[in-house]
Amino acid sequence: MWRFGGDEGIAPLGKPLREHTASVWTLAFSPDGDTLASAGFDETVRLWDASESGHLHPLGEPLTGHGEAVMSVAFSSDGRTLATAGRDDSPILWNVANPAYPQQLGEPLTGHTEAVWEVAFSPDGQTLASTGADHSVRLWHRPPTVLTDFTNPLTSVAYSPDGRLLAAASTDDALVRLWDVRDPGRPRRLPRMLAGHDDEVRAVAFSPDGRTVASGSKDGTVRLWDVSEPRRPSPLGSPLDAHHGSALAVAFAPDGRTLATAGGDETVRLWNLRRPQHVSPLGKPLRGHEEAVTSVAFARDGRTLATGGEDHTVRLWHVGDEAGARPAGRALRGYDHTVNAVAFSPDGATLATGGDDRTVRLWDVRRPSRARPLGEELAGHRGPVRTVAFSPDGKTLATGGGDTTVRLWDVAEPAHAEPVGQPLTGHLDTVTSVAFSPVGDTVASVGYDLTARVWTLEPGRAADSVCDRTGGVLSRAEWEEHLPRLAYREVCEPR
């Protein structure tokens, strides 16, 4: 680095940095001047902390996505995205919102046929231009449904019941962020975040009326937030000292009067929410799991609770009014590894579970004390299954996991479930949570790659879902409410 001005003219600042192992070809400062990117013939990109004048400090490990010399680096105008390109003819985008923890954004951009010499962002950061030895200039438009405004891995995602808001929880910064998704094609981040936890936020859920968000944290607490005015969210009451260890899962009962939490202390707890400012426990902690309880879900009637845990079991519980809950039959076994996720179908007849054994299982839980498996295990994921979620009509199941994919399954006949289409790809690390919009036309997913994604399902499936929910008669007004981005047409068959 060099200093300009003064009696000495141009003078060096500090010692040369020799982290690169071959010629350095390109450099760029972030817009705020706090980060420097360098790249060259060693095929790596390096980030440097330049916030202290005259002293550069390396940030994290070198970025190694390119297979040949890197010839160009460029920051977006907000400094949160870095583009890199070189002789391997495929520019790469990186999330550098937290430059100490950079993450690749999606797959390399393919289209050039020879080396790419230069990349540059448009002033709004939504378009990237690239040019190279193939005598072409290419423009790349960043999809607005890939949400990159995160600085840490993401753990949980939830839609509000009216579909207007999306909540996403993250790890190291202990925050929950809210997004306005009334236009699913152009989500907008709301300015205020839910801040208050002292450690990773592991779970997030909306109340049935959409006015409250619950969040569970590695700090052992559960917090309630008033989001009735989404642009001005506020805490509700004091934090709940829910678990000795992480609070790993949260779920509201369908009537909104009870909250279930699960934690690393092997317990499940129920909480009375009738006075949100003064929440109180319902009964004693539920014990039965022999290791951490990773997931929790209520059935539609609010009388049955499902939990999954690191002890390789799924447990069902009968939920009472004031006395808490009691076991409903024996634990459901069959897993040889951790059960990471549980979810009830909208009619409460089927339970889906996913675990570290890479499979999804469906269970007939119409009689919780005599639950039984339905059909064969759903195999397809090549890594642990971390999350499961039913569509609003109960006909489709979304799953995500360690193989970085989101998969859809036709579960209209649970005993004969089968995959729907190809896996949804785009995440570059574990998918930790998925959620359907209330209409069922989009699926949101989050992962350890610091991104949230909103996937739009084909219009036919979305229309079928809405027809089911409206009793087979979809008026023009209902169409505009549920499917605002599609031209009206009569698709529901009279019943």
Given this chain, do its domains 2-141 and 146-457 carry the same CATH topology? yes
pLDDT at 481 over 80: no
The predicted model scores a pTM of 0.79
The percentage of the chain sitting over the pLDDT mark of 70, rounded to a whole number, equals 88
Per-residue model confidence (pLDDT) at position 489: 52
Its CATH class, for the domain covering 146-457, is mainly beta
Per-residue model confidence (pLDDT) at position 472: 52
Q: What is the mean pLDDT of the chain?
A: 89
Q: Domain boundaries in the chain?
A: 2-141, 146-457
Confidence of residue 173 (pLDDT cuts 50, 70, 90): confident
What mean pLDDT do residues 112-117 have? 94
What mean pLDDT do residues 116-128 have? 90
Q: For the ranges 103-107, 228-232, 249-253, 373-377, which has the lowest average pLDDT?
A: 103-107
Whole-number Å distance between alpha carbons of 378 and 370 = 21
Per-residue model confidence (pLDDT) at position 460: 54
pLDDT at 478 over 60: no
- The winner for highest mean pLDDT among 9-13, 100-104, 276-280 is 276-280
pLDDT at 123 over 80: yes
What mean pLDDT do residues 340-364 have? 97
pLDDT at 97 over 90: no
Q: What is the pLDDT of residues 304-322, one digit of tens each?
A: 999 999 999 999 999 986 6
Q: With the C-alpha atoms ordered 484, 490, 492, 495, is the resulting torsion angle positive or negative?
A: positive
Q: What is the pLDDT of residues 432-466, one digit of tens each?
A: 999 999 999 899 999 998 889 999 886 555 555 55
Confidence of residue 267 (pLDDT cuts 50, 70, 90): very high
What mean pLDDT do residues 63-75 have? 95
Q: What is the pLDDT of residues 183-224, one digit of tens each?
A: 877 888 999 999 999 999 999 999 999 999 999 999 999 999
Per-residue model confidence (pLDDT) at position 485: 46
Domain 2-141 has CATH 2.130.10.10: yes
Q: What is the pLDDT of residues 248-262, one digit of tens each?
A: 999 999 999 999 999
pLDDT at 493 over 80: no
**CA contacts within 13 A on the Cβ side of 442:** 27
The percentage of the chain sitting over the pLDDT mark of 90, rounded to a whole number, equals 69
User: Please, which residues have CB within 8 angstroms of residue 39's CB and are 6 or more apart in sequence?
Assistant: 24, 25, 26, 45, 46, 70, 71, 72, 73, 84, 86
Q: What is the pLDDT of residues 140-153, one digit of tens each?
A: 887 667 887 788 89
Whole-number Å distance between alpha carbons of 147 and 344 = 28
